[in-house]
Amino acid sequence: NGAFQAAAPQVVAAVNAGEDFSTALASIDLFPQEFLEIVSVAETSGTVPEQLHRLSPQFEAQARRAMEAMTATFGWLIWLLVAGFIIFVVISIMMWYVSLLDDAINNL
């Protein structure tokens, strides 16, 4: 993700300056509070790599579910737009036909 790549130098510079890893991550405002708290606890206990390895599948599954929901929502939205367009075309043709019939009746 470009946002994370762009923020990486800032995080590295903060850690190299002696700041805590969790504080450096919090300064870029890209991570949820829950994640930052878990990283803070892991940093205190000295198990950051293990904890991140444990969290990775959870966050990946969460992202996958969010993408599936977004895809389903956009699918329904596109379906509704196409259905609306078809209904508009059908009603337009029907109104044109009714107009022709009305003109024919008025000319008699």
Over the chain (108 residues), what is each successive 10-residue block's mean pLDDT? 90 93 92 90 91 89 95 97 98 96 88
Could you give the CA distance from residue 4 to residue 24 in angstroms, rounded to a whole number?
A: 13
- pLDDT at residue 14, rounded to an integer: 93
Closest CA to 35 of 65, 81, 4: 4
Could you give the CA distance from residue 53 to residue 45 in angstroms, rounded to a whole number?
A: 15
- pLDDT at residue 6, rounded to an integer: 93
CA distances from 22 to 11, 28, 40, 88, 103 (A): 10, 10, 5, 55, 76
CB under 8 Å to 28, separation ≥6 — which residues? 7, 10, 11
Q: Is the pTM of this model over 0.75?
A: no
The burial of 26, by beta-carbon neighbours within 10 Å (0-12 exposed, 13-18 middle, 19 or more buried), is given as buried
Q: What is the maximum alpha-carbon separation in the chain?
A: 94
